[in-house]
Structure 1
Amino acid sequence: MGRYVDAEGWMASATGFGRRTYRAFVPHPLAGWEPSLSGHALNALTAADRALAAAAALPQTSLGGTLAEWMLTRDESIRSSVIEGVASTEPGLEWARYLDQAGRPVSDENDALTLGATKQIAAAVDLGQKMRAGRTATIEEILDIHRRLFAGTRDHDIGGGWRDQPIWIGPAGCLVEDASFVPPPAEHVSGLMSDLVGYLNTSSHPPVLRAAIVHAQFETIHPFEDGNGRTGRAIIHAVLVSAGLTNAAIPISTALSSDRSRYYGALDATRVMCAPDDATARSAATHEWLSVFSDACEQAGRQAEAVTRNVESMVARWQHAASFRSGSAAAKLLDALPSMPVLDAPMAAQRLGVTERAARGALTSLEAVGIVRRTGGQRNKRYTVPDVVGMLRQMTPDGGLPQHRIEPTRTSDPPVPAPHAHAACGHLGPRSGQRCALPAGHAGQHRYPSS
């Protein structure tokens, strides 16, 4: 739903590196647009709304609600990252969280990025809660959500700033003429994002429809150098929470990642050329995407409902097994476990505001009833929560890591070739064992050839 423009930028071509003309798609603003929906689209949106509302309406204890929210956010961050070819194992993400909470760097880039995705989803949920309370979203808050993805990674400098160069989507390393989609030139980004945030704050459209429109428009704008897909999916949660349809993150990326071709194809179908006031063409272009998005929301609602029920059963077992004195260090530690899937005595002491001796006593009490399990040696004792680990593995049996390494068929950070485009980066991937195939001096994440 937009128009094509001719623009100029520095990029590689078949004849070398230089300034060249390229053709890009600029979406129409969202302000004032009223989509006309088919009966099928309305039914799909209604089913999604009911599934999400049913999950949010389930009764939850304080501990169970916090734990379910953490589990669903974790699963969403893993699956959203997998869509972009960033695969993190479940133990790897747990260890990354432990290192981060201990104030130590996360050396594995995939784990650091997936941890960043967890943080940006939490920030999006927080934004949604503020909007539900009457606040309006700001451009700076959108930039902050993006910034959190890359904090603590080697690409931290690209977080929180609009792109200032051409970008295109297609197979890793492709030239602009081979791209499947070319987003708007950089000079259009700021204005389009201001329009999107305005729509986010003022739209009276139903929540699922509003979230679908925001996500499709965001992905079409592609405002960042990298991390557009993960940030765009995080913002979905801000929309749904702000409307009161959900209370926390839902595993929508689990559904979208199950058929990425359909997901990408439905987004592509929204990018038709038409006049801004051609309501018929604009609305027709959204029908496939609304079907895909509604199905994903409905599936996510059912999964969130199942996780909530299972977590409440688990918490009931814990409370039956443990009769800790109210206000004791052990009782406080039990309540804090959702934020510390891997922990040690110093970390517990800091979180609870008690001495390390008291923290060790609390850990011993939880270990005695089987809620936590000791790992590591005598000098470096750490603890995990076996019930939580088991449930996480049921939610994501492969821990997020595909049986065969996934490389993105599309990339949100097309290479920015160096003047000598024939020189390869050559960075050795710690997981793939392969050399980065992008040109030397490229920006953004490394990309490795498909195995």
Structure 2
Amino acid sequence: MKQPGQADGTGIYGHVTLAGTSGWPAAEYERYEWTGTQDAFRTSNYLSGMAGQPYEALIPSTIAKSTYLPSPRVAALAEEAAQEISRFDERYGKHLRPFVSLMLRSESVASSQIENLTASARSLGEAELGVEDKANATLVVRNVRAMETALAAADHLTPESVLDMHRALMDGTRDADVAGHWRDQQVWIGTSQYSPIGAEFVPPHHSRVPALMTDVMDYTRRWDIPVIIQAAIAHAQFETIHPFTDGNGRTGRALLHAMLKHRGVASHVTVPVSAGLLANVGAYHAALTAFRAGDPELIITVTSEAAFRAIENGTTLANDVVAITEGWADRITARRDSAVWPVLDLLASQPVVNAAVLGSKLGLDYMRQKRALDALEEAGIVVGVDKYKKGRFWRAPEMLAALDAFAERAGRRGRS
């Protein structure tokens, strides 16, 4: 479990070199003295015994000018993954318009699931319309916003754009005061919530974060590195820096997608790489651990394989969307100028709507909304429900079921 430090460690008093492998530069650890907080120490003999003990924080190698490339086998796998992503983007991003926004939502849900945040497609759709009775769904909506911010920043990958992603993710949460700010305390992963002593992994001391983030973002803007290799390494470096007290995983995966868009392999649609990683979250975490130990090949392999699984799953969803929308069209007999048709188009990309959405996005007045929704309810395409204090919502159950099936397929395999 990731934990924030309650106060600085102080006093660097030694370095430990960690040898790299596969041509990756060596990393180092630096030792600090843990001080914690005096309030905590006064209330616990156990904690007071940690005062003054050393812990080691990683000093990652800088990568902005790295000449590293993986073995030919891994490089070939990464290139194949890039080609598959590009074909998927061309096929579905350009020619299946509703799929673009559905895939963005689905990828945001998958990224949240890696952090053990789950939400049904219905709950997510309602949360997007302001229903906050499901906390997880509200958090996933913020992940959608962070992904949208990341993709909007794809043309100018900078430390500031990462801060914008994090702000979109964390605004409105109990940690909103740190939204869009680099951490100013030590964090660690695993073992204890009280101190980094004996932790599984201790990221760099917070004083190093700004310079390290400048370095990794310089790396993301290079054009001389194969795209999947670059995206996997930048993502792993970001997670190693752990620049925030919370939200690092979801922000780091949003950054990965911004890089794929920046390099033009996923220009139209968000390829659900996080959904591919869900097939084996344990392997993903093991790959990050190997990267921190000096071997980047596993994170490149895991990212490439996640892309293949994601494309398979996403293709199934795309076929489901086509079948559903074609089935809807067969059940409607309204004239081509009827408001039913634009409402159907909207439901294909946003399967939970209300009057406000229909008014703002389609410009429909009350009577046109009513006629269209009455026809869709009669055809069995939508179900109307009244939400306490939120008015009436309409859901498209078939599309919601397809999205839930996508999420279920993503998490079906083992996670050990």
| Fold-level similarity (TM above 0.5) | yes
In structure 2, C-alpha distance between the alignment counterparts of 1:306 and 1:19, rounded to whole Å: 56
Q: Out of 394, 407, 410, which is 1:396 matched to?
A: 407
Q: Out of 265, 288, 297, which is 1:287 matched to?
A: 297
Q: Which residue of structure 2 lines up, in the alignment, with residue 297 of structure 1?
A: 307
Change (3 A) 1:186 1:310: same
TM-score by length of 1: 0.76
For the pair 1:309 / 2:319, whether they are aligned, the reply is yes
Deviation at 1:359, TM superposition (A): 1.8
In structure 2, C-alpha distance between the alignment counterparts of 1:107 and 1:228, rounded to whole Å: 25
Q: Which runs of 5+ in 1 are unaligned?
A: 273-281, 410-451
Q: Which residue of structure 1 lines up, in the alignment, with residue 150 of structure 2?
A: 124
Q: Which residue of structure 2 lines up, in the alignment, with residue 351 of structure 1?
A: 361
Question: 8 Å contact 1:3–1:26 — kept in the other structure?
Answer: yes
Q: What CA RMSD, in Å, does the superposition of the two structures yield over aligned residues?
A: 2.9
Question: 8 Å contact 1:11–1:20 — kept in the other structure?
Answer: no
In structure 1, C-alpha distance between the alignment counterparts of 2:176 and 2:160, rounded to whole Å: 17
Change (3 A) 1:307 1:340: closer
Q: Out of 105, 120, 123, which is 1:89 matched to?
A: 120
Give, as a single letter, the amino acid of the residue that structure 2 aligns with 1:193. M
Q: Which residue of structure 1 lines up, in the alignment, with residue 382 of structure 2?
A: 372
Local SS of the residue matching 2:30 = strand
In structure 1, C-alpha distance between the alignment counterparts of 2:173 and 2:370, rounded to whole Å: 32
Give, as a single letter, the amino acid of the residue that structure 1 aligns with 2:89. A
For the pair 1:264 / 2:295, whether they are aligned, the reply is no
The percent of aligned pairs where both chains have the same amino acid is 30
In structure 1, C-alpha distance between the alignment counterparts of 2:340 and 2:399, rounded to whole Å: 18
CA displacement, residues 344-369 of structure 1 (integer Å, 9 cap, x when unaligned): 22432233223222222222233333
Deviation at 1:69, TM superposition (A): 2.3
In structure 1, C-alpha distance between the alignment counterparts of 2:388 and 2:162, rounded to whole Å: 45
Deviation at 1:287, TM superposition (A): 1.4
Which is further off, 109-118 or 308-317?
308-317
Local SS of the residue matching 2:408 = coil
Deviation at 1:324, TM superposition (A): 5.0
In structure 2, C-alpha distance between the alignment counterparts of 1:200 and 1:221, rounded to whole Å: 15
Q: Which residue of structure 1 lines up, in the alignment, with residue 275 of structure 2?
A: 254
CA displacement, residues 240-268 of structure 1 (integer Å, 9 cap, x when unaligned): 11112122222222222232222111111
Question: 8 Å contact 1:112–1:153 — kept in the other structure?
Answer: no
Give, as a single letter, the amino acid of the residue that structure 2 aligns with 1:258. A
Q: Which residue of structure 1 lines up, in the alignment, with residue 102 of structure 2?
A: 71
Q: Which 4+ residue blocks in structure 1 deviate beyond 6 angstroms? A: none
Question: 8 Å contact 1:65–1:308 — kept in the other structure?
Answer: no
CA displacement, residues 400-421 of structure 1 (integer Å, 9 cap, x when unaligned): 8x9xxx9xx9xxxxxxxxxxxx
For the pair 1:382 / 2:393, whether they are aligned, the reply is yes
Number of residues of Structure 1 aligned to a counterpart in Structure 2: 380
Q: Out of 90, 115, 122, which is 1:57 matched to?
A: 90
Give, as a single letter, the amino acid of the residue that structure 1 aligns with 2:97. G
In structure 1, C-alpha distance between the alignment counterparts of 2:110 and 2:86, rounded to whole Å: 22
Q: Which residue of structure 2 lines up, in the alignment, with residue 334 of structure 1?
A: 344
Please show how residues 31-180 of structure 1 align to structure 2 within 5 Å.
31-58=64-91, 64-66=96-98, 68-99=99-130, 106-128=132-154, 131=155, 136-171=156-191, 173=193, 175-180=195-200
CA displacement, residues 298-347 of structure 1 (integer Å, 9 cap, x when unaligned): 11122222222332232233334335555643333223224532222243
